[in-house]
A and B are shown apart, each in its own frame.
Chain A
Amino acid sequence: MSMVAKRDDLGNDANDLPQLTDAERQTYQWQMWVRGFGEEGQRRLKGASVLISRIGGVGGAVAYALAAAGVGKLVLAHGGVLRSDDLNRQILMTHDWIGKPRIESAPRRLKELNPRIEIQTADRNIDESNASDLVAAADIVVACAPLFEERMAMNRTAVAQGKPMVDCAMYEMEASITTILPGRSACLTCVHPQAPAAWKRQFPVFGAVAMMVGAWGAMEAIKLIAGIGAPLADTILLMDMGQGMSRRTAVKRRNDCPVCRGVPPCRLVSGGQ
């Protein structure tokens, strides 16, 4: 497989990336066989950091997939304690953890799978007071909160800091995902300027739907970090597990968006050959 070094927009090359140990090459061997990914892609994952908030149904699945892939650092934010009705979908939790802080269960479950990754936690949901520090701690943001207000706060902060953000969500047996590239694509505010009034904090859903859209979210983050595939920018991918179908819809960046207007293009890893 060709191993042409990729260059990012600032001209940095793969020589600055962390090296892999032989044990890591063995663990990640099957994904290193993926076309266009290889050893350099794995080194990029090892050197990357991803913020995921929250780490419930969708976010838990995102975190688990990224831990499996060998992302170097995960920054996890989620307040509150585990309830029994969380357990149909929150795969980073266990039955014996009911009543205890969710954010304390996540690292132990992730480290069981991959003890090599670094995990930073915040026992709080994201809001305007903590978003800046949490987003600053990561290269990529994955929004998995059950409230639009939190997602919009993450969007505002990610755009302001030039950090790509993946927004993945679900309802019943349906899901949606889109990727925001600040300064290059539509942001969440371009798509829906105000939080929809109809949305409620509690909603019907199966755990399988959470895992499905969480896997898509993780793969979007991997694609952005490694510079492979095509991110779902200016696209909302809709998925319906009930009907067994999906469709791509196109969205556009607004010139008058109060969040992303005038923002310079974010850095991206360009694809190799």
Chain B
Amino acid sequence: MTTPNVGNPGKPPRITVRYWAQAAIAAGTQSQVVTIDSGNGVDDVLRRLGTEHPALGTMMFDAVSHGNRGVLVFVNDQQVETGLSPALSDGDELLILAPMAGG
């Protein structure tokens, strides 16, 4: 369950989203602060971000990815495994990394 917004009681929880590599280009920004609803999981937020940034949505949910996210997702620097969507809390940092293969 989402923890109460301890830092800002009475206010909706907020997280910071950081984009890396091609995900930053698709999102048009390297970071943004997002207000979430209590109980939102990672996939709830990813879908919302994909709608807000269509190019990012295509990258993340391209049918070629066979249902897997086309990006790597981390919450507080811990990878979120495919198929899991842990709940987010106020102050969490969501990192969306488009894997790089530049050599």
* Co-complex (A, B): yes
A interface with B by C-beta (< 8 Å): 54, 56-59, 143-148, 151, 168-172, 174-176, 191-194, 196-199, 203, 205, 236, 238, 240, 243, 247-252, 254
Q: Answer yes or no: B92 CB below 8 A from chain A CBs.
A: no
> Of the candidates A151, A197, A240, A251, which one forms a contact with B101 in the assembled complex, judged by CB atoms under 8 Å apart?
A151
Q: Do residues B100 and A171 form an inter-chain contact, with CB atoms below 8 A?
A: yes
20 new A-B contacts at CB < 8 Å, known A199-B22, A203-B102: A54-B103, A146-B101, A146-B103, A168-B103, A169-B100, A169-B101, A174-B21, A174-B100, A176-B100, A191-B99, A192-B68, A192-B99, A196-B98, A198-B59, A199-B98, A205-B102, A240-B20, A243-B30, A250-B77, A252-B81
Q: Which chain B residues (56-85) contact chain A, with CB distance < 8 Å?
A: 59, 62, 64-66, 68, 70-72, 74, 77-79, 81-82
Bound Cα distance from A145 to B72, whole angstroms: 19
Distance in Å from the Cβ of A60 to the closest Cβ of chain B? 9
**How many inter-chain contacts with C-beta < 8 Å in the A-B complex?**
99
The answer to whether residues A196 and B71 also contact, given A176-B100, A248-B77 and a CB cut-off of 8 A, is: yes
> Of the candidates B71, B97, B101, which one forms a contact with A238 in the assembled complex, judged by CB atoms under 8 Å apart?
B97
Bound Cα distance from A254 to B68, whole angstroms: 15
Which A residues are in CB contact (< 8 Å) with B77? 247-250
Which B residues are in CB contact (< 8 Å) with A57? 102-103
Which B residues are in CB contact (< 8 Å) with A193? 68, 82
Which B residues are in CB contact (< 8 Å) with A191? 72, 79, 99
Bound Cα distance from A144 to B71, whole angstroms: 20
Distance in Å from the Cβ of B8 to the closest Cβ of chain A? 25
Q: Answer yes or no: B95 CB below 8 A from chain A CBs.
A: yes
> How many residues in B have their beta carbons less than 8 Å from beta carbons of A?
28
Which B residues are in CB contact (< 8 Å) with A174? 20-21, 100
> Of the candidates A170, A194, A243, which one forms a contact with B100 in the assembled complex, judged by CB atoms under 8 Å apart?
A170
Which A residues are in CB contact (< 8 Å) with B62? 197-198
| Residue in chain A with minimal CB distance to B26 | A198
Bound Cα distance from A187 to B70, whole angstroms: 17
Distance in Å from the Cβ of B84 to the closest Cβ of chain A? 11
Which B residues are in CB contact (< 8 Å) with A192? 68, 72, 99
Q: Do residues B74 and A175 form an inter-chain contact, with CB atoms below 8 A?
A: no
> Of the candidates A144, A243, A248, which one forms a contact with B103 in the assembled complex, judged by CB atoms under 8 Å apart?
A144
Which B residues are in CB contact (< 8 Å) with A176? 21, 97, 99-100
| Residue in chain B with minimal CB distance to A173 | B21
The answer to whether residues A194 and B103 also contact, given A249-B74, A249-B78, A250-B77 and a CB cut-off of 8 A, is: no
* A-B contacts, 5 listed (Cβ < 8 Å): A148-B99, A174-B20, A194-B66, A198-B26, A199-B100
Which B residues are in CB contact (< 8 Å) with A143? 103
Output the residue of B59, B72, B95 with the most chain A CB within 10 A.
B72
Bound Cα distance from A211 to B26, whole angstroms: 26
Q: Do residues A146 and B102 form an inter-chain contact, with CB atoms below 8 A?
A: yes
Q: Do residues A196 and B70 form an inter-chain contact, with CB atoms below 8 A?
A: yes
Which B residues are in CB contact (< 8 Å) with A247? 77
* Shortest Cβ-Cβ A-B pairs, 4 listed: A169-B100, A144-B103, A170-B102, A197-B64
Q: Do residues B65 and A196 form an inter-chain contact, with CB atoms below 8 A?
A: yes
Which B residues are in CB contact (< 8 Å) with A250? 74, 77-79
Q: Do residues B22 and A198 form an inter-chain contact, with CB atoms below 8 A?
A: yes
Distance in Å from the Cβ of B72 to the closest Cβ of chain A? 6
Q: Do residues B103 and A171 form an inter-chain contact, with CB atoms below 8 A?
A: no
Distance in Å from the Cβ of A127 to the closest Cβ of chain B? 15
